[in-house]
Chains A and B, each alone.
Chain A
Amino acid sequence: MFKYKVYILPKKSIINPESEQVLLLSKKISNISSLKIGKYIEIESEQEDYYNIDMLCKNLLANTITESYSIVKIDE
């Protein structure tokens, strides 16, 4: 079984009110300068096929107009 992690984040150029609000509150609690909220998806596949996962991200999991994604393969 091959495992992949997919991270999806809103693009830098787009104002993200959710992240901004959480950052404002977080700054009061902890000394941090940046915070981004996105999505994290775990995928399992019986075949090792990075291209297929990439296609899945492009076509469904991420909206490439507003989001960027990265795929990380988990080695076990």
Chain B
Amino acid sequence: MKVAVIVFPGTNCDNDVCKAIYSSLGIKAERIYFWQELSDNYDLIILPGGFSYGDYLRSGAIASKLEIVNKIKDLSSSTYILGICNGFQILTESGLLPGALIKNNTSKFMCKNVELMVENTKTFFTNLNIKKNIFLPIANKEGRYFCDKETLEDLKENNQIIFRYKDNINGSINNIAGIINKQGNIIGMMPHPERAIIPEHQSCDGYQLFVSILNYWAKNK
């Protein structure tokens, strides 16, 4: 399994993601910088968290217009894509996932461990003995998920909501913390699974999520 981690100017979670992939899957992920060409042979593309382009204009707005994101759009029918935090914002800005992420209703940068409810346990990221309630850290200021009523109905109907906050900490519509696209190969989530891997972290629930990817990929390749 080949994994690419895309690095934009201002991305700061690429190292964490590479380490999480290595410690959970034993795979050395390749960092692809935004100016480099993304080849077709990756099985998983990860857009890590951070502050791409300093969050200018809106979080993820500028990164979503880059050539490398256009390439990811071209590959989006044939590969798995995971967007974490700023990666999720880039995915919504580029139109690969519905909705948008706006400022938390607390107006604060929120950084803490939160309890999440796993709503869909059949996706490529949540299929392997995942507990119903997991703990993952969040670290964002623009993490409030918003979409119109029709989109929300659509998300519910197609079982596209994967993670929901147990308590509505930031005003997200329907407590949404992570969603998947209709086709089932693009996931975006605000919490950071790569920061919940080893016992030194406050939670180890992210480990199983990453192992899920390999399990799903091995079954479906």
Contact = CB atoms under 8 A, between A and B. Distances in A.
A65 B57 CA distance: 15
A42 interface: no
Given A14-B146, A65-B146, A60 B106 contact: no
Contacts, number: 31
Interface string A1-20: 00000000010001111100
B128 interface: no
A21 to B, nearest CB: 6
Interface in B127-152: 146-148
Given A63-B93, A66-B146, A17 B103 contact: yes
Contact size range, B: 10 to 19
A17 B106 contact: yes
B188 to A, nearest CB: 14
Interface in B47-86: 57-58, 61, 65
B100 A66 contact: yes
Given A65-B100, A66-B100, A66-B102, A15 B171 contact: yes
B107 A21 contact: yes
A61 interface: yes
Interface residues of A, number: 13
A65 B61 contact: no
B146 A61 contact: no
Nearest to B101: A66
B105 A15 contact: yes
B147 A65 contact: yes
Given A63-B100, A66-B100, A66-B102, A18 B61 contact: no
- Which residue of B100, B104, B106 has the most chain A CB atoms within 10 A of its CB atom? B100
Contacts of B106: 17
A63 B61 contact: yes
B107 A65 contact: no
Q: For the complex of A and B, list the 5 residue pairs with the smallest distance between their C-beta atoms, beginning with the closest.
A: A17-B107, A65-B100, A66-B100, A17-B105, A66-B102
Interface of B: 57-58, 61, 65, 93, 99-100, 102-107, 146-148, 171
12 contacts: A10-B102, A14-B102, A17-B106, A17-B107, A18-B103, A18-B107, A59-B65, A63-B93, A63-B100, A65-B99, A65-B100, A66-B102
